Each structure stands twice: as structure tokens, then as C-alpha cells.
Structure 1
Amino acid sequence: MRVSTVDYHTAGEPFRIVLDGIPPIPGDSVAERRAVAIGAGGSATAPRPSSLDEVRQLLVREPRGHAGMYGGFLVPPDDDGAHLGVLFWHKDGYSTACGHGTIALGAWAVDSGLVPAPADGVARVRIDVPSGRVTALVHRAGGRTTGVTFRNVPSRVSALKLPLATSRGVVEAAVAHAGACYVSVPAAALGLAVSAEQLPELTAVGREIRELLAGAEEVSHPTDPRLSGVYGVVLYEELPSEGSALVQRNVTVFADGQIDRSPCGSGTSARLAVLVAEGRLAPGEELLHESIIGTVFTGRAVGGGDPLAGGVVTEVGGVAFRTGEHLFVVEPGDSLGAGFLL
């Protein structure tokens, strides 16, 4: 097995772009290819064994990866209206959306020359993901990429004050679909703070909340069952405002207990939809969304969409940096094969 990648990080969260080394993935759309990757009888966090999934395992497991690794397989877009398609993956399986990955892909598409870009100005990179088409606005100055803002699929709120009986007491949760389904809970209501010192407790309660909502009506997507089910739990706290911008810190626990090092791109879209529905943020007003490691995404709602009905369009901005280029191999006789997770 020989797999070539280029790696980025977006606000601290890794994104491994697979350039070569995967078998063909049949399907007429990115969403269909994701279903093929998961396999008949599999699930988003428990794919069926396949030659394709061996590549995912190789890249997210030690000794070539780690349990916090994230990445994507490049695939054809749904039609000629997009520049590329992508299947997002993590240590447990395949997701339907990934904001930090979209930011990294926008930077890579321009930096690699796949999408022409001005030395100064903005290039638009259209990307088909399993939840729909997103656009990365790649900002350029002096021939360099200085940042990426991605416009997400519409984000819709399905619950604002959903009571949950957790092991830390009853809390009220908000649920929003932003390409993937996110549940937001204030950390203080659970007796916690968003800090690295409390990460084990935050991870445990995030997994608990995800399990509590398994199969709940509020986490079912209104039109596409492939997008149903809790993907991430956003545990957040308020920070002092900066000028007119609202400021929050969060940690997002996603999949089976994985931690987003970034502020979580699609999770930020979900938070924006909730804040608009609560009347705390008007279209055009800014959210500064800080991660558990102190990195920041900026976000705003665009236009006058209704987050409680058809959804509101959001834009989330950040910076991605290339960290390396790799050729991964599995030599004959390597008994660890695709690797292991601890």
C-alpha cells in the first residue's frame, strides 16, 4: 500500500488530504460515495471493512497517524459547478460536513494551482461535500493565502431548550443541523469550564449527551435521513464581548469522543443559527468563536433566513497552514498492517 497526502492544520485541527492511493469509489454524487465508503450494514462511526477503509485506518491510526487525526479523500464533484468533491473521515468513520477541512481544502486548492487565484483578492473554491455544496472564499495578498472564509449549507435549528437528564443534572440543550447535527450545552450548566484541565470530564459528558439523544426526533434531519443523528456536542462558555462582537469559547466532542482542537467550523455554523434564533445575534453581526487551545474562528449569519424554518446561511473564517507532505507505505511483513489505536 502506498498513499500520498498533503497535510494542513486549521486553527490547530489537522486535515490530511489524500492525493493518491485510494481505490475507485463508485457513485453519482459525493453523498452516494460516502454511503459506499460506509458500506451496506455499516454506520458513520462503524464502517464495513473494505480496501478503502483500510486506507482511512492507515492514516488515522498509529504509527502513521493518531486518534485525533482528521482528513479527506478527494473525489469527483457532483457536477461541473464545483471544483472538487471530498469524503471527510476521522478515527471512527465518515462525517457529512467539516468546516475546518473545507477551510484547509480551499487553501490547498489555490496553493496547489488547482483553482486559479489572483495575487491580491479573493478566489472562490466550490466544494461538494456529503451535505451539499459549500464555497471557500480564499483571501490573497502579495501572492500568499492569508485566510479562508467558507459559506456553509443553510443551518437550521430544531430545538432551543431541549431538557436532558445527564449524570450532572438536568440541562437545556439546543440542536442545530449545519451540514451535520450539533447539540449545544453551556458547560457551566454541567458544572464545568471549557479548559484543557477538564478535558476528560468534558469528553465524557459529550459522549453521554450524544448517547442520550440517539434516535431522538430533534436530531433527525427534516429532508435527508443520511444527515440525521448527533455528530458533535458543543460545550461552550461566554467570554467578555470585544467591541460589537459576541465572544464564546467552546470544545466540540464529536464522533465517538474525538476532540476538535479548532473552534469547529460546522459547529460554529450551528452556534450562529442558535444565536440568531435566540435573538442574540443579528445577520451580519460577528461571533468570535474560540477553541480550547485559544485559536479563533469568526462567524456571521448572511441574509435574513429563518433558522427555525428553512435555515440561515452562515460564513465562518479562519486560517489553514500546510504542515507536511507524505508518502505512507505498508511494507510486506508488517504485522501491524493499518496500525492501531490506544
Structure 2
Amino acid sequence: MPVPYGGGELNAQSSAEPVVIDTVDYHTAGEPFRIVSRGLPVIAGDTVAERRAIALGAGGTATAPRPGPLDDIRRLLTHEPRGHGGMYGGFVVPPDDNEAHLGVLFWHKDGYSTACGHGTIALGAWAVESGLVAAPADGPARVYIDVPSGRVTAIVHRRAGRTTSVTFRNVPTGIAARKIPVATSRGLVRVDLAHSGACYASVSATSLGLAVTPERLPEITAIGREIRAALADEPATRHPDDPRLSGVYGVILHEELPATLAGPNQRNVTVFADGQIDRSPCGSGTSARLALLADSGLLGPDDELRHESIIGTVFTGKVVAAHPAGVITEVTGTARRTGEHRFILDADDTLGTGFLL
């Protein structure tokens, strides 16, 4: 099955013909992932990282892209009435070379991210279930995906012709700083930073007087945005090799749960972009937590982290190898298809690409 990489402009405002965008939607542990399978304009660039930079536009930023046909589609799919403020997804694009099966530009309501573990898990399931990548009825299939932060792997586990789970092998995760003091409205806290395809700040929810529960979500969102803003000029948030990966993407608030026989057990919630909440345990964020736990001696070489989300869904993760840039991690979860959609922007629709409340 060929991957449709584009064709056509988003020009409903100047044509009587409606814009039509086809998607396949998944959820990974509760977090949505909307895969655009048809209707994209041609996206310039020789690599996925270049295409992301072009998508941001001259002078644009990760959370404030410049307007254009591609960004119109992002807004169309994340804004109401076709989406919502928690929507997440990806544009399927060509890989950097023929060693990978596909590339992807990750997006959310505020812009474009450099990494997405839950999205990689969903893309692995989709690639196998759509027939893009051949897979056995029983056993694993490997899907190689180029993302803005590098090449990642989705190992799709199969049994009796069905996908049972997907393991996301991330780019190297490196620790940038430990116990950075950050003054907040809830007092001084100590924050750890790790680069795992994106930069994540980890902080104990307990140290902030918070529990990772839906009832505390307004407070969690507010403090997550506050910590992210406070770290805006922190040198350790700069990626050592690629400035395009710099800056805090997500703030992880975590709390301890009783350990399992396999290893540590934590509940977390990640506040990313401009106050968006990850419903899953956060795939790339789990990589960051794995590296930090291993560095602290709390995760042994044979241990497995049970990582629970704010809605009770679970990823498991482990450190599988050392790397000059840090460690290699694997995170396992499930992704299930929720629908196939044909979204239409009528030329006479005065709401255009929609709105956010």
C-alpha cells in the first residue's frame, strides 16, 4: 500500500470545491492520534526535520507556526467543531531515506512537536494494520519511522493475526540537569531535565502538594505552565547537538505508587505545549523518566517501570542499552483504532478552520 504524501492546496476560501481531508484515528492509552492519510499539500524539504522547520515558517515557532496551507489543515483537525483542544496527530511524509518506512510531522493544537512516543505506537499499529508494512500473524514486525528528532522504531507484537501491543524504541535519552531550583507560586521545587526526543522537566507532584488525579487537573495544568515558563531561559534546556530540539516541551508531574515485582511504579501527568494534557502516560516522557530513575539507582538493568497515566492507563518501560548520548529506552503500550474520517471544509463555511474555547 503506497503512502499518500500529498497533493492539492487548502483553498476552500477561493474555490467552490470543498477541502477534503481523510484521516485514520487511533488512541494510545487514551491519548488521541489522528493520522492524515489523504489531502495534504506537498510538503517541501529533504528530511523530516527540514519539513518541520518549513511547516513552522520563517519566524514561526513550535507553538506559533506561520499561517499556510499545511497549518490550515492542522488547525482544521485540532479546532472545533472537527477536533478539540486535546487533539493530537501526525502528517505522514516521506522518510529521510529508504531505510525507513515512513516519516511523520507531529502536531497538536498549538503547533508541531519534535517527538511523540504515543504517536509512534499508534503509527506502528496503523502501518501494520493498513498493510503498509508486512507482519506475521504471530510474532513481531518492525516499523522504522523518521521523526523530527531522529529515527525511531515501533515493534508491533502480533498474535493470531491481531496486534496485541507495540513497543516504541526511542532515540537516545540524555540527562541535562538534576535538581534545578525553580520558584513557583506553590513554593520552591527541584526539577530534573532530560532530552528524550524533546526536553522534559520532571518534578514530584507531592513536593507541590498535589496528587495526580483528575480532580486536581486545573491546578496541575496551571503549575505545569508556570514551571515551563520559568525554565524558558535555562541553559540546560538547550539540546547539545540540535538547537531545533531545544526548550522545554513538557512538564512531567509524578508520584510514587507501590513498587511491583518487576520494578518501580509511578503515576504521572505531562503538561505540554501551552497547557495541553497528555491522557496517556506519555511515551517520550516515559523515556525521560526511565533515564532519570536509572541515574538515581531506582531502576536496575533488569527492572521495568510501570508508568500509569492520570486516567489509569499504563505503559511499561525499560532501559535496554547504554549510548554515548545517554541511554536507549523501550516503552510498550497499546493503540486501538477509533475511526476513519473524511473531514470537509465547505467554501461557504464562515467558521473556516474552526475555533478553540
TM-score, normalized by length of structure 2? 0.94
- 2: CA distance, partners of 1:325 / 1:98: 21
Residue 205 in structure 1 maps to residue 223 in structure 2: yes
Across the two proteins, how many residue pairs are aligned to each other?
339
Contact kept in structure 2, 1:175 and 1:181, CA below 8 Å: yes
Residue 302 in structure 1 maps to residue 317 in structure 2: no
Of residues 107, 115, 133, the one that matches 1:115 is: 133
| C-alpha distance after superposition, 1:40-92 (max 9, x if no partner) | 00000000000110000000000000000000000000000100000000000
Contact kept in structure 1, 2:267 and 2:310, CA below 8 Å: yes
Residue 332 in structure 1 maps to residue 350 in structure 2: no
Residue 195 in structure 1 maps to residue 213 in structure 2: yes
SS at match of 1:218: helix
| C-alpha distance after superposition, 1:93-121 (max 9, x if no partner) | 00000000000000000000000000000
Residue 56 in structure 1 maps to residue 56 in structure 2: no
Identity of aligned residues (%): 71
Contact kept in structure 2, 1:283 and 1:304, CA below 8 Å: no
Contact kept in structure 2, 1:136 and 1:148, CA below 8 Å: yes
Of residues 312, 315, 338, the one that matches 2:327 is: 312
The CA RMSD measured in Å over matched residues stands at: 0.7
- 5 Å matches for 1:267-282? 267-282=285-300
Runs of 4+ in 1 over 4 A off after TM superposition: none
Deviation of 1:331 (Å) = 1.1
- 5 Å matches for 1:35-114? 35-114=53-132
| C-alpha distance after superposition, 1:129-175 (max 9, x if no partner) | 00000000000000000000010000000111111111111111100
SS at match of 1:109: helix
SS at match of 1:242: coil
Residue 169 in structure 1 maps to residue 187 in structure 2: yes
Residue 321 in structure 1 maps to residue 336 in structure 2: yes
User: Any stretches of 5+ residues in structure 2 without a counterpart?
Assistant: 1-18
- 2: CA distance, partners of 1:244 / 1:67: 36
| C-alpha distance after superposition, 1:203-250 (max 9, x if no partner) | 000000000000210100001000000000000000001113210000
Residue 220 of structure 1 aligns with which residue?
Answer: 238
| 1:137 counterpart letter in structure 2 | I
TM-score, normalized by length of structure 1? 0.98
| 2:312 counterpart letter in structure 1 | G
User: Any stretches of 5+ residues in structure 1 without a counterpart?
Assistant: none
- 1: CA distance, partners of 2:267 / 2:145: 28
Residue 149 of structure 1 aligns with which residue?
Answer: 167
Contact kept in structure 1, 2:263 and 2:299, CA below 8 Å: no
